[in-house]
A and B are shown apart, each in its own frame.
Chain A
Amino acid sequence: MTPLQFERENQDGWEELQRLLRDVHSSRTASAVAAVDGARVAALYRRACGNLALARSRSYPAYLVDRLEQMTADAHQVIYRRRELGLTRLRHLLAIDIPTAVRAHAVYVWVAAAVLTVPAAILGLLVYARPELILSLVDAPTAASYHEMYSSTAQSIGRPGGAQGDWAMFAFYIRNNVGIAFQCFAGGLFAGVGSLFYLAYNGALIGGIAGYLTQRGLGPTFYSFVVTHSAFELTAIVLAGAAGLRLGHALLAPGRQRRGAALVDAARGSVVVVYGAATLLVIAAAIEAFWSSAAWLPLPLKYSVAALCWVVVVCYLTLQGRHAG
């Protein structure tokens, strides 16, 4: 069969397929896509695949092969497209996928938690015993600004100057904290060393500042400020770090897979944990900006809400979605 004969014989099917594909691409809503005859697209696509295989094996001219390649590639994208967005999917993610993924990464979560808290505890005790050590963590003006932020006379706690509104602080916290969490995750690509470093560094910083402020007698203000949102924030950083450690572990010990394939598998699983971390960080930023900073709230109320938040976070991660198959 000559190329021209081949083209004449199959022309109609190709044109119909291209028309249907254009319909799919130009339709904006799901119902408009559903109106396109899917079975017909699939049938024409399979036929075009057969035509392409023939055209290639018979070395038909490039314009024919190109046309068939583009048509099949386009149809392949349309037919195998996965719809993963939408409210149902989001609900499933929050209700089942995230907590399940966190439990599947339990070992990494515990390691990450230890890498964050142990330096925090050590630095906290050290700085509490010898306050001048804070200067080896942060420079003097920063230390002074922390001191001022949590002094009992501050109007709203935990923010420099107090000139900016709650919303600005919300935005600032989101940007800052999400940056830290994503660094903890991405650091995993360097055999996990990056994650370990960011976790330990942030742990040391948090511990050092806590020790310094406690030693200065600002403990009540400081702890009442951080205790509520830290339920979400520290957990989120631990989760992001755990996801990063998973990446690093896959690179170091890929098991029976190639390193690249092991990394892809690890990333597919651990990115769900990062979704969880990002969600928690947005909640943390909202609480930190609108609730934690309010100096007028009575301490018992703050501590009760904080306890409730911790219980909710821990229960969510350990219990939620465990019966879902």
Chain B
Amino acid sequence: MPQATSDVLDTIVRAETPEGILLELRPAGLTARAYAFGIDALARLGIVYAASTVGVIFGGLRPAFLLILLFGLEWLYPVVFELALRGATPGKRALGLKVVMDNGLPITPAASFTRNLLRAADFLPLLYGFAILGMLTRRDFKRLGDIAAATLVVHQPRTAPKPVLEQLPPLAPAITVAPRDQAAVIALAARAPRLTAARLDELAALAAAVTGDAGRTGPEVTRRILAAGQWFLGRR
């Protein structure tokens, strides 16, 4: 990738595929993961509560049934969901998170077991202390289990809607514009509907040189910049 984005302040992890492209993974931080954990905890609580009610039909076997269920919820709940539901427990799914391998591939059973068994270490010294420490100190927000299993908890990419650009007659730029700057003007045009008029004018003024309006500002300049955006996109 010729465009050096590594200097941008970001937590993106890049994974190269065999096809030679870089997948961009966005690791999820402590807050999102804590919420997901909370939702999962409530889900587990709900299951235990429901089971202890339904468990009556097991009669004398009820305590055994409940204990085995507790064991399953304690150790296997995350493993089962991560393997069966494409890498996300219900809590993670609700927050739009999923677990993948470091190289962006789906999580393997061995990795899922490793990261979830090592919870026993992450849990220490109390209240997931080491997990929190790991997430707060590492760029990629890994807890100990993630480090050993080579997994990442990432934000699932959200589908960005195709921007609907206001239909303006395209305007040829007054100067030669580098591809990167063209992209910036197009991005500004795409964001235009979500910005206030004053802010839009302010931002457009930065690109005023494109249409030969350097140093000027106002709705007219903005309109011309947006029109140049249409041109860059390929409308003639």
Contact = CB atoms under 8 A, between A and B. Distances in A.
Interface of A: 2-5, 45-46, 49, 52-53, 56-63, 66-67, 69-70, 72-73, 76-77, 80-82, 84-85, 164-165, 167-172, 174-175, 178-179, 182-183, 185-190, 194, 247, 260, 263-264, 266-268, 271-272, 274-275
B235 interface: yes
B54 interface: no
Given A182-B120, A187-B121, A189-B148, A76 B67 contact: no
A250 B64 CA distance: 39
B183 interface: yes
Say whether chain A's binding surface is mostly helix, strand, loop, or mixed. helix
B169 interface: no
B17 to A, nearest CB: 5
Size band of the B side of the interface?
Answer: 35 or more
Given A53-B21, A59-B182, A73 B233 contact: no
Say whether chain B's binding surface is mostly helix, strand, loop, or mixed. helix
Contact of B83 (A45, A85, A183, A247): A85
B108 interface: yes
Contact of A165 (B60, B75, B144): B60
B118 to A, nearest CB: 5
Contacts of A70: 157, 159
B233 A3 contact: yes
Contact of A61 (B23, B67, B114, B186): B186
Given A59-B183, A172-B67, A275-B113, 16 more contacts: A4-B233, A49-B21, A56-B1, A59-B180, A61-B187, A62-B160, A62-B190, A66-B160, A72-B19, A77-B104, A167-B64, A178-B71, A186-B121, A189-B118, A264-B147, A271-B117
B177 to A, nearest CB: 10
B215 interface: no
B64 A170 contact: yes
Contact of B117 (A61, A82, A274): A274
Contacts of B61: 165, 167-168
Contacts of B68: 170-171, 174-175
A254 B147 CA distance: 15
Contacts of A268: 110, 114, 150
Contact of A186 (B109, B120, B235): B120
Contact of A73 (B113, B157, B179): B157
Contacts of B117: 182, 185-186, 271, 274
A81 to B, nearest CB: 5
A264 B148 contact: yes
Interface in B97-136: 100, 104-106, 108-110, 113-114, 117-122
